[in-house]
Amino acid sequence: MKLGREISEGGRFVRQPNRFTERIEEGGEHPPEPGRYRLYASYACPWAHRSLIVRELLGLQDAVGVTIVDPIRDEKGWRIPGGDPVTGVEYLSELYLASDPGYQGRYTVPCVWDATAGRLVTNDYPQITLTLETAFAPWHAEGAPDLYPAALRGEIDALNEVIFDGLNNGVYRAGFATSQEAYDEAVTKVFDTLDLLEERLATRRHLHGDALTESDVRLYPTLARFDAVYHSHFKCALRRLTDYPVLWAYARRLYAIPAFRDTTDFDHIKRHYFMTQTNINPSRIVPRGPELDWTAG
């Protein structure tokens, strides 16, 4: 995994910007239509994981197709086992280069292909779930949760920034740091954020009260990977998720929901991180454990 362009002079990890940021919206070049768009995702990637969760929660399986890539990424990027049934490509990189022949960054998931336009519309992972929640509302299943209610959007957006900076991206800043100062700064923020969330959830079932929202979806993939990967691989070793009684119970409550459980593949997660990120784990050995019961009440 090449990260040279994403490491600052101070040894801090700086995530690459998203290349494709067009919107799927009414009145635009890419209007929402069932069957027109395909989501490319990985069970291993936390950013893609949350788009898979939302697609399942909202019952959009028939409206938005999905292609799952292999968890082991090489120099060509994400491989599509058996080839993509829609575009016929074998690697996700082919869709990136078909959309922008001069593209030179990492080929990231999630991303969305517009079959009508014949190109990628977006790999803007923060926006993809919001698009599924808003632009695709006419195709939501009956009884689907409102994950981004208008009255709470300001609060949701504000908390999402805290979760992203301190935790979702914070674990990467700790894991990819190449200086002690950068690591100490990042890992301190990770656990400050976990402490804050432990306190917040002590008085509510979900992050914004009784109802599930976009914030819960954004937090869960990091919690699901924490003890299995981030605690050891990314050196976020001060405490484990299981050392936070409220957060651990909250994570298991979410896991009990089929959309969360059925998109959580610990085998894909562990093999991807430990076998792909050879700058951190050059031996590519996948560790045993930890033995956790995610189904415990």
Characterize 103-129 residue by residue with b for buried, 16 or more Cβ atoms within 10 angstroms of its Cβ, and e for exposed.
eeebbbbbbbbbeeeebbbbbbbbbbb
For residue 86, the 8-state DSSP code is T
User: CA 34, CA 179: separation in Å to the nearest integer?
Assistant: 48
Catalytic residue among 91, 148, 172, 250: 172
Give, in order, the Cα–Cα distances in Å from 84 to each of 147, 151, 173, 208, 256: 30, 40, 32, 38, 31
Tell me how long the chain is.
Answer: 297
The neighbouring-strand residues paired with 113 are: 38, 120
The secondary element (H helix, E strand) that includes residue 273 is helix 266-276
Catalytic residue among 45, 107, 148, 250: 45
Characterize 229-254 residue by residue with b for buried, 16 or more Cβ atoms within 10 angstroms of its Cβ, and e for exposed.
bbbbbbbbeebbbeebeebbebbbeb
In a 10 Å sphere around its CB, with 0-12 CB exposed, 13-18 middle and 19+ buried, how is residue 164 labelled?
Answer: middle
The verdict on whether 45 is a catalytic residue reads: yes
Pairing of strands 65-68, 111-114: unpaired
In a 10 Å sphere around its CB, with 0-12 CB exposed, 13-18 middle and 19+ buried, how is residue 82 labelled?
Answer: exposed
The neighbouring-strand residues paired with 26 are: none
The verdict on whether 236 is a catalytic residue reads: no
Phi, psi of 144 (to 5 degrees): -65, 145
**38 three-state secondary structure:** strand
Which residues are marked as active site?
45, 172
